[in-house]
């Protein structure tokens, strides 16, 4: 294996998460010379363990589905929410999905994707942090710090196109000063940790011991409470529990105080305290992320593309993060391959890709946050996307939004797109809230 970072390449990718590794795989499978620089050593901790069945079409394209299946991640059949005391359940099979959703350990899942990219002949270098990109010439020059062998060596690599898949650090959005925090009356932060021996919520709406996972499939459990909302996601050997909280609730608390708050809150909230009654908190597992919702005013140009969380992040409640990463990687690499074939059209191609990516993020923000016509959301792009989606998929989205009392956001868009009458007639005949949850 070559351990020396080359002086030049065709496409330089910043970040080895799902967006970056997927982009690398797409490109090398089409004969493009790719170098991927990742600042961390994999496997590394990451949140976002709940994946919806949409991911399989992207993993099939990447050729990595079999490797994911071999990991025997927890298969989930749907989700249950308790939102403002209303209990709802969603089953993926009801909406035509043959393959399951997954609960994954993200360190393992992301490692599988990155290893796969490397096996396809992408040149991957860990412990190499990109600091800046010089776009003063047609071919960008990337400055990095190589931290391998415990030596901080500064190097440069020239490329034709940069893909920023740097995640929440949003390298290029910060460099160009185009990253915007979503404007909201209430700001939230996320606080999460892991437990051993938690019970889980089964598809039968009952609580179960971990030993019952082979016989009773789990669901993702989400619940609102007075300070925000929470998630409970059972994994193979532990359980992910997260609190999304109004920022002012943790103002002034240090790391140790945040852990005390988290552990006490988990043991006082209805349903959650029942699931955790026999559980043990895994020491030093608590993580924290403030003010997580943001977007970029510019994601694509003739010689760079920002994808995944580097382009924007909406809200973890609909499990859109990985789906956005896969989608962005797929369309950005299509644009890049077109640009390499017809460089004279590079600006036009980037503009079209920007339009598609902003459309996807606009839809997510409209659905999750109600940002219809603000925070960079284009109503026309959102309506266009809805008009193109299958009715069964729209019904699934409507159900998901109703489960968290956000359906007014979706209904407004669907009305304006002209699909509401047909959708509501199909949906409301047999979709009532469930009446019990025995935990």
Across the range 276-299, mean pLDDT stands at 87
Return mean pLDDT, the chain: 87
Q: In this predicted structure, which of 13-17, 175-179, 420-424 has the lowest mean pLDDT?
A: 420-424
The pLDDT tens digits for 68-87 are 999 999 999 888 888 888 88
pLDDT for position 240: 96
- Quickly state the pLDDT bin for 382 (edges 50, 70, 90): confident
**CA 151 → CA 141, 146, 192, distances in Å?**
22, 7, 33
Instruction: Give the separation between CA 407 and CA 24, rounded to whole angstroms.
Output: 37
Confidence of residue 97 (pLDDT cuts 50, 70, 90): confident
- Mean pLDDT for 422-438 is 64
In our burial notation (b when 16+ CB lie closer than 10 A, e otherwise), range 244-265 reads bbeeeebeeeeeeebbebbeeb
Q: What is the pLDDT of residue 154?
A: 94
pLDDT band at 365 (very low <50, low <70, confident <90, very high): low
Give the pLDDT of residue 251: 82
For residue 191, what is the DSSP state?
Answer: E
In the prediction, which pLDDT does 333 show? 97
How does DSSP assign 41-97, residue by residue?
PSS------EE-TTHHHHHHHHT-HHHHHHTTPEEE-EEEEEETTEEEEEEGGGGT-
Integer Cα distance of 162 and 36 in angstroms: 10
The domains of the chain, with CATH numbers, are 11-49+105-181+295-354 (3.50.50.60), 188-290 (3.30.9.100), 359-427 (no CATH)
Give the integer Cα–Cα distance in Å for 266 and 280.
12
Measure the CA–CA gap between 28 and 24, rounded to whole angstroms.
6
When pLDDT is averaged across residues 406-431 and rounded to a whole number, the result is 68
**What gap in Å lies between CA 308 and CA 293, rounded to an integer?**
13
Per-residue pLDDT, averaged over 127-144, amounts to 95
Q: Compute the average pLDDT of residues 24-49.
A: 94
Which range among 263-277, 315-329, 396-410 shows the weakest confidence by mean pLDDT? 396-410
Residue 199's pLDDT is 96
In DSSP terms, 145 is beta-bridged to 129, 154
Distance CA 291, CA 264 (A): 22
- The string of pLDDT tens digits covering residues 165-222 is 999 899 999 999 998 877 665 567 889 999 999 999 999 999 999 999 999 999 999 9
HSE toward the beta carbon, residue 130, CA cutoff 13 A? 31
Instruction: Give pLDDT, residue 92.
Output: 87
The answer to whether the beta carbons of residues 204 and 78 sit under 8 Å apart is no
Give the DSSP letter of residue 411.
H
The helix, strand and coil proportions of the chain, stated in percent and rounded to the nearest 5, come to 40, 25, 35
């Amino acid at each position: 294996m070559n351990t020396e970072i080359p002086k030049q390449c065709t496409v330089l990718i910043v970040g080895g998460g799902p967006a970056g590794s997927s982009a690398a795989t797409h490109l090398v499978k089409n004969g493009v010379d790719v170098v991927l620089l990742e600042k961390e050593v994999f496997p590394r901790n990451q949140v976002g363990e709940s994946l919806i069945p949409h991911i399989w079409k992207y993993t099939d394209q990447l050729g990595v589905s079999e490797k994911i299946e071999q990991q025997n991640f927890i298969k989930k059949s749907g989700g249950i929410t308790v939102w403002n005391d209303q209990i709802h359940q969603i089953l993926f099979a009801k909406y035509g999905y043959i393959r399951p959703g997954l609960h994954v350990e993200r360190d393992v899942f992301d490692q599988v994707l990155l290893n796969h990219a490397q096996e396809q002949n992408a040149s991957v270098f860990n412990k190499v942090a990109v600091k800046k990109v010089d776009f003063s010439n047609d071919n960008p020059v990337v400055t990095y710090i190589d931290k391998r062998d415990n030596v901080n060596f500064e190097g440069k690599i020239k490329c034709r196109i940069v893909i920023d898949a740097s995640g929440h650090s949003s390298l290029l959005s910060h460099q160009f000063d185009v990253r915007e925090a979503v404007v909201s009356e209430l700001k939230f932060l996320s606080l999460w940790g892991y437990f051993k021996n938690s019970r889980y919520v089964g598809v039968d709406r009952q609580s179960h011991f971990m030993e019952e996972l082979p016989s009773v499939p789990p669901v993702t459990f989400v619940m609102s409470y007075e300070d925000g909302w929470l998630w409970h996601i059972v994994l193979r050997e532990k359980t992910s529990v997260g609190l999304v909280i109004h920022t002012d609730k943790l103002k002034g608390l240090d790391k140790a105080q945040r852990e005390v708050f988290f552990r006490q809150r988990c043991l006082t909230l209805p349903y959650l305290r029942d699931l955790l009654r026999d559980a043990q908190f895994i020491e030093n597992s608590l993580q924290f992320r403030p003010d997580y919702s943001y977007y970029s005013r510019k994601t694509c140009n003739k010689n760079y593309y920002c994808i995944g969380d580097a382009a924007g992040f909406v809200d973890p409640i609909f499990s859109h993060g990985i789906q956005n990463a896969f989608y962005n990687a797929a369309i950005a690499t299509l644009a890049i391959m077109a640009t390499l074939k017809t460089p004279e059209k590079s600006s036009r191609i980037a503009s079209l890709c920007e339009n598609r990516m902003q459309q996807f993020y606009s839809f997510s923000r409209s659905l999750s946050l109600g940002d219809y016509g603000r925070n960079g959301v284009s109503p026309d792009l959102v309506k266009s996307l809805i008009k193109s989606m299958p009715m069964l998929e729209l019904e699934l989205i409507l159900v998901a939004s109703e489960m968290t009392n956000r359906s007014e956001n979706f209904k407004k868009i669907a009305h304006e797109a002209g699909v509401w009458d047909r959708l509501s007639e199909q949906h409301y005949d047999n979709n009532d809230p469930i009446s019990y949850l025995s935990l």
